[in-house]
Amino acid sequence: MTPDAAADAPPTDGSVSRRAWRDGVAVALATSAYGVSFGALAVASGFDIWQTCTLSLLMFTGGSQFAFIGVIASGGVAAAPAAIASAALLGVRNIAYGMRMAPIVGTTLGRRIAAVPVTIDESTAVGLAQSTPRARRIGFWVTGVGIFLGWNLTTLLGGLLGDLLGDPKTYGLDAAAAAAFLALLWPRLRGRQPIAVGIAAALVAVLLTPVVIPGLPVLVAALVAVVVGWFNLFGRRVAA
């Protein structure tokens, strides 16, 4: 086989699976690192270490957790209903993820139940970014389980060392998760439709964030993708 032929050969199942492992581990490490900032911010907002760790263990969805402690910190216990509503709005998106990932994680009831707590932004993104069914499963499980373990560990670490760490932004932890998402998204922006969806969703989120409660901009921005996909806006028309 010539070098050119080898380069043009389709990737093997083993190489695709290894890529899924690498993607999952990389995203898990980047996202877990951000758990340090959650632990530190939660303790600084008045939560004790056990309350902070319980939030990560049971809620386990970063956006909802940050929204919850942010609202509580600004309004105290009286703001609890608003905090719960904001966290719930951000968590609604996981229902859509579950519907999309159900046929990928496995057909048995046990696997689907086990997948519920780890069906999050990152595990869904890594899973869907892979090219074969087996690689999608690997990407989903490696990312989801890796982040669950890492996030809870770094939450504890951040809660214990919060004052010593200082501002998490100093270490760039506030950008870790966003950078990981961008790395997954960028290769998929190869046509007019995905580019249009990305730009429109970003504009909607930016415009709404200063004027509505946390969580709502994410849901409204997601509607952009639904509308564009449903009507195939900007997509190539299939010849009759």
In the prediction, which pLDDT does 152 show? 94
Give ∠ CA 196-201-207 in degrees, rounded to 5: 125
Q: What is the pLDDT of residues 72-113, one digit of tens each?
A: 666 655 556 666 666 676 667 777 788 888 888 877 888 888
Average pLDDT over residues 5-10: 50
3-state helix, strand, coil in the chain (%, to 5): 80, 0, 20
State yes or no: pLDDT of 176 exceeds 80: no
Contact between residue 188 and residue 196 where contact means Cβ atoms under 8 Å apart: no
Residue 237 phi/psi, 5-degree rounding, is: -80, 135
Task: Enumerate the domain spans of the chain.
Answer: 12-183, 189-240
How many Cα atoms within 13 Å fall on the side-chain side of residue 90?
Answer: 23
Stretch 208-220: mean pLDDT: 73
- The whole-angstrom distance between residue 223's C-alpha and the CA centroid of its chain comes to 17
Higher pLDDT, 217 or 115: 115
Tokens encoding 162? 């919060």
Separation CA 121–CA 145 (nearest Å)? 13
Question: Mean per-residue pLDDT for 231-235?
Answer: 63
Please name which of 89, 40, 36 lies closest in space to residue 69, comparing C-alpha atoms: 40
* Interval 118-169: pLDDT, tens: 988 888 889 888 888 889 999 999 999 999 999 999 999 988 886 566 555 5
28: pLDDT strictly greater than 80: yes
Instruction: With cut-offs at 50, 70 and 90, classify the pLDDT of residue 184.
Output: low
Give the predicted TM-score (pTM) of the model.
0.67
Distance between CA 132 and CA 12 in Å, rounded? 10
- C-alpha distance from residue 107 to each of 98, 101, 111, 115, 186 (Å): 13, 11, 7, 11, 31
Distance of CA 170 to the CA centre of its chain: 22
Res 102: pLDDT: 85
